[in-house]
Amino acid sequence: MIKRRGISSVVGTVFAIIALASTVGYITYSMNVLDNYNQSILARNQQATDVTKEKFQVSSVTMVNNKLNITVVNTGSLPVNFTKIWITNKSATTTAWVKSYTPVNSLAAPGNTLTNLGQGVSTWLNTNYPYHVKLVTSRGNTNEFDVNSVSTAPLNIQLLATPPNVPSAFKTQLIMLVTNNSTGTVTNLVPNSLATYGTPTATCTPGTVSPTKYNTLSPGSTAVFTWGVTATGGNSASCTLSASLQNGYSKNFANTTITTSAISLSGTTYSQNTGTLTINYTTFQFTQGSGWIPDWLIPKGTATGFNMTLTNSDPVRTFYLSNKTAMIMQVAGSASTTALYAAKSISSAGAVTAYTCTGYPTNDYCVSLAPGQSMSLYIGANGPSLGGTVKTPSQVGPTSALLLVYGKFDTSRGGNGLIYAQDIPFIAVYLY
């Protein structure tokens, strides 16, 4: 028997090789395709990661030469390339005013600050118009903010008075808290002047706001503005103030109420509340017939008139000055005193006009002093409502002058108001 390889086996082997080669080729090709697919996924993931790594913040936005001047800080770990600026004029309501620009030199390295973004934009912008701006990066990230406009949606505004209850004529602090509860940065936050809300029974006078402006407010951040407000009024008088933002969302404001309380002053407690009437010591001057002299050196034994500024520091009540108001002078080492009474006026030549007036009560309470107001008080008459002069003591040396102010707090000269008396000490002169 001769063993021979059959031809059919050769043919079968050929076919087997063909089939195997095809299979191997297909598998190889599939692996290549899968590899490409894998690479694409990796590349796509990398791009997505880059998008999330790209971070930047708008640190300030101003208008320079009627163009946007945006400062951006790259806070991420990748360079940021700004490819588009969209500007929308929000005041255009009947038509769309939307422009897009491709900025130049708009690449910011990680950690660096890109300035003057928007200065290359050709369009002239009105500094009084509100604009909405959107920055677009090459990776598709955007940052939107408003210029000269707070927002298209109301912001969280709170207004607090600390304290809300103050004695009349005292000052309280108003704190305005503005929280950016939107998703975009708002720029140029400027508070409007505080407005009076409703019908106030107290007079509230706001001071200047501090700070006057926030350049930017990122989402979630809070801006704080403060005012000093002087509130004047009677007991339980109040005023309600309203705070809002310039170019803000309609009806987006906050209110707070300040209540005043009057300083208590009764006939039995007035001695505990001295200081309601004060004089300005720097205005103290005298005349002996040759003009007013602001000096504490005064010749002795000479007819003298004195003048000084008296202020009613009571916040709500009018003070009526009695004709018994006088100044007592006493030279050191002397037992005698000299009294000089209030006069209606004393001329620079020393002529005394008596403290008189018509009506009831006779020649008394002639002069009134409104809350917070001042007057020139003349002292030098020889008695209540008399027009004669008084000489200074005849001794020489240091002399104390005690001013005794009598009167009443009332609503009218003839009323039965609250009587009040007060001494104002420590007017020092020296007689020679």
Partner 1 sequence: MIFFVKRRALSTVVTTALMLTAVAVIGTGVVAWSNSNLRTFENNLVTSASNNTNKINEMPIIENVVLVPNYPLFGINSVNVTVTNVGTVGFNVAKIQISDSTQSITKTVSGGNVTPHSSKLFSYSYQWIHGSVTTIQVTTARGTTISAQAMQP
Residues that bind partner 1 (CB under 8 A): 7-8, 11-12, 15, 18-19, 22, 26, 29-30, 33-34, 36-37, 40-41, 43-44, 47, 83-84, 86, 88, 93-96, 98, 100, 134, 136, 138-140, 142, 152-153
| Least distance to partner 1, CB of residue 184, Å | 13
Tokens of 352: 């005394």
Q: Residue 304 to residues 61, 283, 323, 340: CA-CA distances in angstroms?
A: 68, 16, 18, 9
Nearer to partner 1, 142 or 394 (CB): 142
Q: What angle do CA 300, 304, 308 make, to 5 degrees?
A: 120
Nearer to partner 1, 90 or 300 (CB): 90
| Least distance to partner 1, CB of residue 63, Å | 22
Nearer to partner 1, 44 or 53 (CB): 44
| Least distance to partner 1, CB of residue 247, Å | 14
Helices first, then strands: H and E counts in the chain: 1, 30
| Least distance to partner 1, CB of residue 177, Å | 24
Tokens of 379: 């002292």
Tokens of 259: 């209540």
| Least distance to partner 1, CB of residue 231, Å | 37
Q: CA quadruple 87, 90, 91, 94: dihedral positive or negative?
A: positive
Q: CA quadruple 391, 393, 383, 355: dihedral positive or negative?
A: positive
Nearer to partner 1, 76 or 417 (CB): 76
Nearer to partner 1, 22 or 126 (CB): 22
Question: 375: Cβ–Cβ under 8 A, 6 or more apart, which residues?
Answer: 309, 310, 367, 369
Q: Is residue 357 within 8 Å of residue 363, measured between CB atoms?
A: yes
Q: Is residue 306 within 8 Å of residue 378, measured between CB atoms?
A: yes
DSSP helix/strand/coil, 275: coil
| Least distance to partner 1, CB of residue 122, Å | 18
How far apart are the C-alpha atoms of 432 and 430, rounded to whole Å? Answer: 7
Enumerate the β-bridge partners of residue 215.
none
| Least distance to partner 1, CB of residue 41, Å | 6
| Least distance to partner 1, CB of residue 161, Å | 31
Nearer to partner 1, 30 or 158 (CB): 30
Nearer to partner 1, 118 or 350 (CB): 118
How far apart are the C-alpha atoms of 203 and 8, rounded to whole Å? Answer: 118
| Least distance to partner 1, CB of residue 182, Å | 12
The residue written with tokens 């050709």 in the block is 122
How far apart are the C-alpha atoms of 312 and 304, rounded to whole Å? Answer: 25
DSSP helix/strand/coil, 22: helix
Nearer to partner 1, 22 or 236 (CB): 22
Give the burial string for 185-224 (b: 16+ CB within 10 Å, else e). Answer: bbbbbbbeebeeeeebebbbebeebeeeebebbeeeeebe
Other CB atoms within 10 Å distance of the CB of residue 8:
8
| Least distance to partner 1, CB of residue 118, Å | 16
Nearer to partner 1, 100 or 411 (CB): 100
Nearer to partner 1, 24 or 64 (CB): 24
